């Protein structure tokens, strides 16, 4: 009697301990699923950032709950707040201390464009000193907006040519 093949999943007993896929897909899956944020909390947006990390919005659902206050251990700098000209060089230095690969989210109007601070003291957009991957509008943005930005960043990471970048880098 012939039994129906009900092996719907991958069976190591039959096929061995092998998965065939692309290196980019694996690397990007790993990277995008554990983006460790570096909270650059400079103003009120940082309060929303804390809200995102807490239970109600729970950034852990996206694998980004490991906030690291050392740039050496972080992947994604979330610039949350007003960047003054006095602070700007420090933001750049902390960005430089992060290990590759690294990403930047400009959270809120101030980090994106200077926001309502059209004044002598405020950097008019953090993209003047660090490369920004995702901008979030709002003053401050809702926590959902930051989660949306994180999902946008994840889909951006998933399109990166990671393996060729790894092979060509010295």
10: its two tokens: 């991958």
- Other beta carbons within 10 angstroms of residue 30's beta carbon come to 12
CA distance 170 to 119: 42
Note whether 116 binds other proteins by CB under 8 A.
Answer: yes
Please identify which residue in the block is written with the tokens 């659902």: 61
**Structural contact between residues 52 and 143, judged by C-beta atoms closer than 8 angstroms:** yes
Asked if 92 interacts with other proteins (CB under 8 A), we say yes
Which residue from 139, 151, 165, 166 is in contact with other proteins, where contact means CB under 8 A? Answer: 139
Q: How far is the CB of 44 from other proteins (least distance, A)?
A: 13
Does residue number 129 form part of the binding site for other proteins (CB under 8 A)?
Answer: yes
Asked if 159 interacts with other proteins (CB under 8 A), we say: no
Instruction: Residue 88: count other Cβ atoms within 10 Å of its Cβ.
Output: 16
The candidate with the shortest Cα–Cα distance to 99, out of 67, 77, 131, is 77
Residue 137 interacts with other proteins (CB under 8 A): yes or no = no
Provide the phi-psi class of 59: left if phi over 0, else alpha when psi is between -120 and 50, else beta: alpha
Is the Cβ of residue 26 or residue 139 nearer to other proteins in the bound state?
A: 139
The answer to whether 100 contacts other proteins (rule: CB under 8 A) is no
Q: Which is nearer to other proteins, 126 or 150 (CB)?
A: 126
Subset of residues 26 to 85 that bind other proteins, contact rule: CB under 8 A: 85
Residue 120 in contact with other proteins, rule: CB under 8 A? yes
Cα angle: 115, vertex 116, 117; to 5 degrees: 90
What secondary structure letter does DSSP report for 141?
P
**Binding test (CB under 8 A) with other proteins, winner from 23, 25, 121, 166:** 121
Q: For other proteins, give the closer residue by CB, 42 or 157.
A: 42
Binding stretches for other proteins (CB under 8 A):
85-86, 88-89, 92-93, 114-124, 128-130, 139
């Amino acid at each position: 009697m012939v039994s129906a093949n009900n092996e719907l999943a991958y069976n190591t007993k039959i096929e061995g301990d092998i998965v065939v896929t692309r290196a980019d897909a694996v690397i990007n899956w790993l990277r995008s699923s554990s983006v460790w944020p570096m909270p650059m909390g400079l103003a009120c947006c940082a309060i929303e950032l804390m809200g995102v990390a807490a239970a109600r919005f729970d950034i852990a659902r996206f694998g980004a709950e490991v906030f690291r206050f050392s740039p050496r251990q972080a992947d994604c700098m979330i610039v949350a707040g007003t960047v003054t000209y006095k602070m700007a060089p420090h933001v750049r230095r902390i960005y430089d201390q992060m290990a590759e690969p690294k990403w930047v989210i400009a959270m809120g109007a101030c980090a994106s464009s200077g926001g309502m601070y059209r004044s002598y003291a405020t950097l008019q957009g953090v993209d003047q000193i660090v490369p920004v991957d995702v901008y979030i509008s709002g003053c401050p943005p809702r926590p959902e907006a930051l989660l949306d930005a994180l999902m946008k960043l994840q889909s951006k990471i998933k399109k990166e040519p990671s393996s060729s970048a790894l092979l060509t880098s010295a």
